[in-house]
Amino acid sequence: MRDGNSRNIIFWFFLSLFILSIAMLTWLIWPFISIIVLASVITGIFSPVFNLINVKDKINPPFASFLTCTLIFFVVLVPIGFFVGILSKDAHDLYITAKGALLNDQIKNLISNSVFLEKANLVLTHFNIEFTGETLNKAVSELGKIVGLFLYEQARSIASNTLAFFVNIFLMLLVVYFLLIDGSRLISFITDLSPFPKEQDEKLIQKFKDMAGAILIGNGLGGLIQGVLGGTVFMLFGLKSPFLWGVIMALLAFLPIVGIGAVFIPAAIYLFLKGQIAAAIFFVVFYIILSVTVEYILKPKIVGRRVKMHTLLVFFSIIGGLKLFGILGIIYGPLVITAFLTLTDIYNASYRKMLGPKELT
């Protein structure tokens, strides 16, 4: 009996020390958690490139990883650093403009005298609601302030401390470099420590890989295409800050339900109120064609059906991620939901029956 009690005491003492060491390790690396998560996602995306360079071990893994990191730097990070300054200026201009009267007097008069607004108000009077040109102007101004301030703060946090930005880039590339070489051994180490069966660990890891691919390859490429084409159309029609609106559309493209329509539809209304009817119609048609092509043709071919998540859940995961983590919430939000849904599947498949059958009431 004493031997059993001694073993229990030793076990719980060891477990307490082990949990304490995990907590201390988490506390130690927590300031770099964003860098590590982002590096892990980028590693998953560029691992096929690393494997292609390292095919049949003709190039040793360290050099192949170095070449892959160099590619990541020039393809991903240099353009981001180049565009941050432009984005910061345009976002600040949008915020300043929105603080004033966003719509000019001519458009205000068009809104006030609009037949559509009169008909809409006839219906809305039953609900004690009335829209005026001033009301619409305030709503658009407030939206412009929110969007402009958010993007300006995100860009300013990078541009205001160039040294910290490049240090974080270096650390991220350093993590990517070693993950490309030793990532499989790290995964094996973690799965060996996990109390889950091996197939459940593999399922959880595969779900994360699939979601990372869906976010950065599917949504990222789709957002890039929609942002570039949308910004180009804005530039061709002489609208202000085409680069800024292109970035906004690239981010909105991640959001299901809303998408780039949150920019294109108001732009079409703006052109319509200015009397540019043909341009307004073109904007609506272009938006429909671009959205349908990317969302229903391009993305399914790239992502396939590996990632099954309800549209509304994706929407709230990204909105919540943006609110909690800033711009990186586009990645973190869906990953949190992925972890929850995967663990839910594992629970239903393996552990729910341990609780016994439900009692009838």
- List the domain boundaries for the chain: 30-102+140-189, 196-260+301-351
Euclidean distance between CA atoms 177 and 259, whole angstroms: 34
Stated length of the chain:
361
Please check the confidence at residue 112 and state whether its pLDDT lies above 70.
Answer: no
Euclidean distance between CA atoms 63 and 170, whole angstroms: 17
> What tens digit of pLDDT does each residue of 236-274 get?
988 877 887 888 788 788 877 778 887 888 888 778 777
> What tens digit of pLDDT does each residue of 308-357 get?
667 778 788 888 887 887 777 777 888 788 778 777 877 777 777 776 55
DSSP code of 358? P
Q: List phi, psi (to 5°) of 254.
A: -70, -25
Decide if 211 contacts 335 (C-beta within 8 A). Answer: yes
Euclidean distance between CA atoms 257 and 216, whole angstroms: 19
What average pLDDT score do residues 159-184 get?
Answer: 80
Longest dimension (CA), the chain: 91
The pTM (predicted TM-score) of the whole model is 0.68
Euclidean distance between CA atoms 10 and 230, whole angstroms: 64
User: Following DSSP, what letter does each residue of 208-260 receive, concatenated?
Assistant: HHHHHIIIIIIIHHHHHHHHHHHHHHHHHTT-S-HHHHHHHHHHHTTSTTTTT
Euclidean distance between CA atoms 224 and 254, whole angstroms: 10
For residue 263, give both structure tokens: 């920019």
What pLDDT is attached to residue 101? 46
User: Following DSSP, what letter does each residue of 25-57 receive, concatenated?
Assistant: HHHHHGGGHHHHHHHHHHHHHHHHHHHHHTGGG
What pLDDT is attached to residue 132? 55
> What tens digit of pLDDT does each residue of 54-107 get?
876 677 888 888 999 998 888 877 777 666 666 666 666 655 555 554 445 555
Cα separations in angstroms, 1 against 5, 6, 8: 6, 9, 11
Q: Look at residue 96 and give its three-state secondary structure.
A: helix
What pLDDT is attached to residue 177? 92
Q: Look at residue 197 and give its three-state secondary structure.
A: coil
Q: H helices of the chain, where? A: 2-29, 33-53, 61-72, 78-99, 105-112, 115-124, 133-159, 162-193, 198-212, 220-236, 242-252, 261-273, 277-293, 299-303, 311-325, 329-346
Decide if 262 contacts 209 (C-beta within 8 A). Answer: no
Confidence band of 157 (pLDDT split at 50, 70, 90): low
Q: Look at residue 310 and give its three-state secondary structure.
A: coil
> What tens digit of pLDDT does each residue of 4-58 get?
677 778 888 888 998 899 899 989 988 888 888 888 878 877 888 888 888 766 7
> What tens digit of pLDDT does each residue of 183-240 get?
888 888 888 877 777 777 777 777 777 766 666 677 778 888 898 899 899 889 888 7
Which of the two residues, 282 and 97, has the higher pLDDT score?
A: 282
Decide if 39 contacts 175 (C-beta within 8 A). Answer: yes
For residue 343, give both structure tokens: 């663990």
Euclidean distance between CA atoms 213 and 321, whole angstroms: 18
Please check the confidence at residue 119 and state whether its pLDDT lies above 60.
Answer: no
